[in-house]
Structure 1
Amino acid sequence: MSQSTGQMELREDDIRSHYPAALSLLQGFDHAPRIGATTAVAEEKSSGIGTRRAFRSTTPGLVTQRTTRSEGVRLVERINGLEAGDGLTSPVQAAVLQGLRRGIAVALAVADQYEERTGLAELKRANLQGGLPAAKSVEFSELLTAEALIALQVFASYLSFTLASHVSEDTVEIGSVDEVLTENAPLALQGVLWELDQDIARFATSESRLVATTLAYAESLMEKVAARASTAAQLDPFTTASWRIEAEGFTINGFTPARSAKGTPLTMQFKKPHEVVGNHIAKYQAMKLAKMLMAYDFDRRLNPFAELGGFIFTFMGDGKPGTGKTTLIQMMAGLVNDYCQVAGYGFRYQNFGIDNIDSYQGKSGQNAKAFINTILDPSVIGFGTIDDIDQIAGKRGDRQSSAGQQEVTAVFMEAFAGANTVVRGNCTFGMFSNYPENVDDALRQRAGARFLVDGPQTREDYIDILSLLLGKRHDIPLGDHDLFSAQEIKRAVARSFEGHNRPHEDGLKSVFDRIVGLYGELDTIAKLGSYLKAIQEADERFTGRAIKNITDAVKVRAMDFELPDEWMENPELFLWKDYDTKKAMIEDLRQPITTAMVLQEINRYADSEFRYADKSDEAAIDAMVRDLGRSEEAKRRYLEGKV
């Protein structure tokens, strides 16, 4: 794939010229901590909990008279001193050391680029010669601060990028990053290397925890630097430029962390479409969405479907237990995985489960944010699922929801439809639940599409699923039945959509019949709008967001075509085309929007909301009845003197 225009190459010679300085820092230097406090290497109080002292200087970064002595920082010695099993430097230790050396070198090379673009190099020379004009002192100080922040960002981003392939199941919580000094880039790097050395001594009790500690530090450092950069001056020359290192595909785009484009290996058992019995609309939309993702253009970092309309960024799959939600996930993940292998794209799948809810304050929100960022990474195709979301994300105001569940709800709401949400079209998020009525209303309405996973419905469906699950190791005759013919997707989907010409839920049926009685056939925008208003009067939760979700679903229907299979099998036909060509090819397949489409999508969406509301209300009523029953029994026992 061609590289994006305007992206400059960071030359290998420029990086390697800083190797000696980087190696010298790793071999040893003395540093008197300004902000961070030295903590003796002691036994951890609790697994994964940081042990930093609570005391902080009230004048961060200010040079004052202190009695703090300089400390020797020798990262090479520290890392090589870890138990590697045979006394030699292990591949993991070498990878961390090489990542540190190259990360420092890359950071200094980018700092050089910044100096050239801003004139900071000339100001440094003038300052060394004692000839810096007084009128330039403020600008000089601002440029030095900006350069320090840039060096720290690039260093941390490179570490996170290059060590991603060494991630294990170990996690480390290091606490906040303190020693962020911004007087100049070399001092800033010394400060973070001193603090990283402290953390490695404290937490890196094994090779896997060495990697986990280094990555945790890099992530925490990027977060701290980004916060500082939000109020710093003189950063435009860095944030408006972009660099790339061809050797490893590492890109620098302002203060956005770079992520490895490598996908995560999948161990799930994939399912073929014919193995998903019933669930015709859900299956059809999942198959379409899998191909939609593949239209993403890595150079433009945009999907034509996201621009033209009809891309599904978030969806909700709900149904009774055992109706096939897991099978649907396995089918869609398998399709995207296969397509990405053909195209040579990185694919990243991740599920956010109940084990990501942590008892420590703020950790659940951090886990949710990390999950979101992993899937959003614009350098890969991403598919994120949240299974049993009713157990994971708590309802706001629900006293039974834990603080961790409330944190997760807040993160998901902001990520799926917040002020800073950008839909590029490289990823999608699926929320699944047996009890969607227990999901916070605002979060549930952030699901742009609804997949009703209702399982097998017809006699033919049940024959197909029985035959499928029995397998082939039997001699039972099939009988008078055309196996899997009922799962022929086009015919089944058309039949399923026609079933939504009228609502299914009793509450919505009465609204529909009343509006049709008043206006006749709903064949104009005015009549359809009147129907929507009547629905809102019946259920106040039916807001403008619901209308947006319905119109998005209609646009999906306008894209009611599957990209041809041969486009997925031969990437030269479509996947490797430039953005404008792909967009034109998709536009040629687009169909006109009809009133039937709009009415069916209104009924589909409103049916789901009425179904959720009815179940939620019944659950609340049942709970109140139980509470009243307990209260009456308590009164009876009290009056009878049995307590």
Structure 2
Amino acid sequence: MSLPTDAMELPEGEISKHYGAAADMLTGVDHTPRIAKGKEAPGPERSSGIGTRRRFRSTTPGLVTRSTARPEGVRLVDRIEGADGDDPLTSPLQATALHALRRALAIGLALGETFAEATGLAELKKSNLAGSLPQTRAAEFAELLAAEALVTMAGFANATAFLIAPHQGETAVEIGGVEEILTDNAPLALHGCLWELDQDLAAFATTDDTTIATIAAYAEQLMEKLAIRAGSAPRLEGFAAASYRIEADDLTINGFTPARRGKGQTLTMSFKKPNEVVGNHIAKYQAMKLAKMLMAYDFDRKLNPFAEMGGFIFTFMGDGAPGTGKTTLIQMMAGLINDYAQNAGYPFRYQNFSIDQIDSYQGKSGQNAKSFVTNVLDPNVIGFGTIDDIDQIAGKRGDKQSSAGQQEVTAVFMEAFAGANTVVRGNCTFGMFSNYPENVDDALRQRAGARFLVDGPQTREDYIDILALLMGKNHDIPLGDHELYAAQQIKKAVAASFEGHARPHEAGLLAVWDRVEAEIGALDTIAKLGTYLKAIQAADERFTGRAINNITDAVKVRAMDFELPDEWMENPELFLFKPYVAKLAMIRDMTQPITVEMVVQEINRYADSEFRYADKSDEVAIENAVRDMRRMEEAKKRYLGGK
């Protein structure tokens, strides 16, 4: 992949010259912790009473606030080499970890030095060393030192996470938050980082696998904490907006944004072919289109042409009765993306967020949800994330029956899918599936840009096809007068399905349609369409501006109502490997004009789903209220009868 045009190369010589200092830090440094406390268990008391006496408290002004912790020797080389017990030889993974840490420290120091030269901090350091630093620039000097410390730590954390990622297995370690973040100067900042990493290794690293997992977990936590600190720290605007490229490691550091190595996964799920999905014509068609849309993602530009043109399906909701084929649709879409990605040599990552990731421990459910979202959003992979049975996973706000964990998950998904910091690159998509979408929080449900009605087989032909499919071939029963799978031809079935939305299906929406059409006639102008939308909003106050945005996105998808040729997927040179600008031009040539019929159909499709959800939700609430009233009435009868 070519070097992004806005990335500055960090020369290898600038990194390697810091190897000596980095190796010395790993061999041993002394550090007195200021913020964090050691995680190692204290040793036993030598005699009773000594450990319980009140310690001396100085009354000298200033001394009372000074840390009384003793300097501790941090020897990461010894710590890592001793993690596997009594083995006197250094294992390959231990050597890999030490080399990665040395490289990461050198990268951090090189970034800090580059920052100092670019901001004038290097000259201020010389003046300060010579005792000629003007008093008027003392505050600037302190701010730049703190900024350099944050930059150096960010480079170290980013490089560590990136370099250690390929060696991380399935082992996971929960180390908690990172606390020892010091900003006095860059060397002290790194000493604090190494001290806290040493504490974590002492507490959690007992094997090579847990050593790697602990280092990776620490780097992730450090990056997260640094990004928060950098948000309010001065003099970091230039670094935050810059990109630095380390060619030898294929690493690009974009400010305080975590750099991730594209790492796919081997899927073991049972894939389905499109012809094995019976019925669900629109859902199947859109899933097949979306699978190919994802493959148009440009790894150099970190952007998908479809996302730039509008209409990329970042989130979608698949709803339908139990047994109508939602899981089959997931298997089909994941299988298509997996095959396309393997053929192109792209890393593909599929993850499902399930109910077992809701934890009773406060905050853990939100962390699990955030980790799920972050993994799928990784701009270095093609991602597909699914949330099956989302009505059980994400709780409605204000619902007393929803657990704290479910509420946390709802908040994380709402922020991730359409929050202030949401960036749609077009490398991934999230699918939410539910048998009871009316139980999903309204705001979260409306963050689903597309709606897939998974209604299963509908026609006589559908039922013949699904019976023949599921029966398999181990029988001699004749097929009869039927053309197998002819009804599943995508283009023919989809055209009929879209035309079916020329008028609404739900009774409540149909009443609105009839009234508006009687008042203003056919909906053939923007003004008339807007009048119809306002009438829908008057009937259902949950039909807000976000709904209009989702409808227009769906219309843009219809404008690109074409399927990328299979040849482009089979031979990546024809499309996938072309430059971004060329791919964008090829897609634009295939687009078609937006028509009134498209807009009307998409308004009705989306509004039908909202009315369907609202009607179900209201009906469930009414049934529950009636059931409660009957219980109270029966309880009253029994109570009075017992007197």
Q: Which amino acid aligns with 1:458?
A: T
1:125 aligns with 2:126: yes
What is aligned with 1:320? 321
Aligned-partner Cα distance in 2 for 1:612–1:64: 60
What is aligned with 2:29? 29
Aligned-partner Cα distance in 1 for 2:21–2:476: 74
What is aligned with 2:582? 581
Structure 2 residue ranges without an equivalent (≥5): 44-62
Superposition pairs for residues 461-540 of structure 1, below 5 Å?
461-540=462-541
Superposition pairs for residues 357-376 of structure 1, below 5 Å?
357-376=358-377
Equivalent pair of 2:7/2:242 in contact (CA under 8 Å):
yes
Q: Which amino acid aligns with 1:217?
A: Y
Matched position secondary structure for 1:589: coil
Aligned-partner Cα distance in 2 for 1:86–1:491: 68
Task: Describe the shift of the 1:65–1:308 C-alpha distance in structure 2 as closer, same or farther (beyond 3 A).
Answer: closer
Aligned-partner Cα distance in 1 for 2:350–2:129: 53
Aligned-partner Cα distance in 1 for 2:139–2:116: 16
Superposition pairs for residues 353-502 of structure 1, below 5 Å?
353-502=354-503
Q: Which amino acid aligns with 1:26?
A: L
Aligned-partner Cα distance in 2 for 1:410–1:171: 24
1:225 aligns with 2:226: yes
Matched position secondary structure for 1:301: coil
Displacement of 1:379 in angstroms is 2.0
Q: Which amino acid aligns with 2:445?
A: R
Displacement of 1:560 in angstroms is 0.5
Aligned-partner Cα distance in 1 for 2:313–2:86: 50
Aligned-partner Cα distance in 2 for 1:491–1:370: 41
Aligned-partner Cα distance in 2 for 1:394–1:130: 62
Q: Which amino acid aligns with 1:221?
A: L
Displacement of 1:470 in angstroms is 2.3
Displacement of 1:163 in angstroms is 2.3
What is aligned with 2:49? none
What is aligned with 2:550? 549
Equivalent pair of 2:334/2:384 in contact (CA under 8 Å):
yes
Q: Which amino acid aligns with 1:113?
A: T
Aligned-partner Cα distance in 1 for 2:98–2:470: 52
What is aligned with 1:196? 197
- CA displacement, residues 326-373 of structure 1 (integer Å, 9 cap, x when unaligned): 111111112222222232222221111112211111111122112212
Aligned-partner Cα distance in 2 for 1:374–1:251: 18
Equivalent pair of 1:111/1:151 in contact (CA under 8 Å):
yes
Matched position secondary structure for 2:614: helix
Aligned-partner Cα distance in 2 for 1:138–1:184: 14
- CA displacement, residues 35-75 of structure 1 (integer Å, 9 cap, x when unaligned): 112233379xxxxxxxxxxxxxxxxxx99643321111111
Aligned-partner Cα distance in 2 for 1:476–1:89: 66
1:238 aligns with 2:254: no
Matched position secondary structure for 1:163: helix
Task: Describe the shift of the 1:79–1:260 C-alpha distance in structure 2 as closer, same or farther (beyond 3 A).
Answer: same
Displacement of 1:614 in angstroms is 1.0
Displacement of 1:611 in angstroms is 0.9
Task: Describe the shift of the 1:556–1:183 C-alpha distance in structure 2 as closer, same or farther (beyond 3 A).
Answer: same
Aligned-partner Cα distance in 1 for 2:629–2:171: 48
What is aligned with 1:592? 593
Task: Describe the shift of the 1:536–1:571 C-alpha distance in structure 2 as closer, same or farther (beyond 3 A).
Answer: same
Equivalent pair of 2:40/2:202 in contact (CA under 8 Å):
no
Aligned-partner Cα distance in 1 for 2:399–2:173: 31
Displacement of 1:246 in angstroms is 1.9
Task: Describe the shift of the 1:509–1:236 C-alpha distance in structure 2 as closer, same or farther (beyond 3 A).
Answer: closer
Aligned-partner Cα distance in 2 for 1:315–1:22: 48
Q: Answer with 108-117 or 631-640: which moved more.
A: 631-640
What is aligned with 1:568? 569
Displacement of 1:523 in angstroms is 2.2
What is aligned with 1:18? 18
Q: Which amino acid aligns with 1:362?
A: G
Task: Describe the shift of the 1:476–1:167 C-alpha distance in structure 2 as closer, same or farther (beyond 3 A).
Answer: farther
Structure 1 residue ranges without an equivalent (≥5): 44-61
- CA displacement, residues 272-302 of structure 1 (integer Å, 9 cap, x when unaligned): 2111111110011011111111222222222
What is aligned with 2:41? 41
Aligned-partner Cα distance in 2 for 1:570–1:248: 29
What is aligned with 2:629? 628
- CA displacement, residues 234-280 of structure 1 (integer Å, 9 cap, x when unaligned): 21332232111222321100010001112222222222211111111
Equivalent pair of 2:39/2:200 in contact (CA under 8 Å):
no
Aligned-partner Cα distance in 1 for 2:212–2:289: 39
Matched position secondary structure for 1:608: helix
Equivalent pair of 1:19/1:101 in contact (CA under 8 Å):
yes
What is aligned with 1:272? 273
1:336 aligns with 2:327: no
Matched position secondary structure for 2:248: coil
Task: Describe the shift of the 1:42–1:480 C-alpha distance in structure 2 as closer, same or farther (beyond 3 A).
Answer: farther
Displacement of 1:477 in angstroms is 2.6
Aligned-partner Cα distance in 1 for 2:634–2:211: 59
What is aligned with 1:57? none
Equivalent pair of 1:84/1:90 in contact (CA under 8 Å):
no
What is aligned with 1:9? 9
1:183 aligns with 2:202: no
Matched position secondary structure for 1:456: coil
Equivalent pair of 2:295/2:576 in contact (CA under 8 Å):
yes
Matched position secondary structure for 2:589: helix
Task: Describe the shift of the 1:362–1:152 C-alpha distance in structure 2 as closer, same or farther (beyond 3 A).
Answer: same
Q: Which amino acid aligns with 2:11?
A: R
Displacement of 1:84 in angstroms is 6.4
Q: Which amino acid aligns with 2:29?
A: F
Task: Describe the shift of the 1:427–1:42 C-alpha distance in structure 2 as closer, same or farther (beyond 3 A).
Answer: farther
Q: TM-score, normalised by structure 2?
A: 0.93
Aligned-partner Cα distance in 1 for 2:288–2:478: 32
Displacement of 1:79 in angstroms is 1.7
Q: TM-score, normalised by structure 1?
A: 0.93
Equivalent pair of 2:457/2:463 in contact (CA under 8 Å):
yes
Matched position secondary structure for 1:349: strand
What is aligned with 2:58? none
Aligned-partner Cα distance in 2 for 1:232–1:406: 31
Q: Which amino acid aligns with 1:387?
A: D
Displacement of 1:150 in angstroms is 0.8
Displacement of 1:155 in angstroms is 1.2
Matched position secondary structure for 2:257: coil
Equivalent pair of 1:357/1:364 in contact (CA under 8 Å):
yes
Q: Answer with 11-20 or 494-503: which moved more.
A: 11-20
Task: Describe the shift of the 1:197–1:478 C-alpha distance in structure 2 as closer, same or farther (beyond 3 A).
Answer: same
1:640 aligns with 2:641: yes
Equivalent pair of 1:34/1:63 in contact (CA under 8 Å):
no
Q: Which amino acid aligns with 2:3?
A: Q
What is aligned with 1:50? none
Displacement of 1:488 in angstroms is 1.0
Aligned-partner Cα distance in 2 for 1:259–1:64: 41
Displacement of 1:581 in angstroms is 1.7
Superposition pairs for residues 345-356 of structure 1, below 5 Å?
345-356=346-357
Aligned-partner Cα distance in 1 for 2:169–2:274: 33
What is aligned with 2:298? 297
Equivalent pair of 1:437/1:616 in contact (CA under 8 Å):
yes
What is aligned with 1:66? 67
Equivalent pair of 2:112/2:152 in contact (CA under 8 Å):
yes
What is aligned with 1:47? none
Displacement of 1:542 in angstroms is 1.3
Aligned-partner Cα distance in 1 for 2:154–2:213: 19
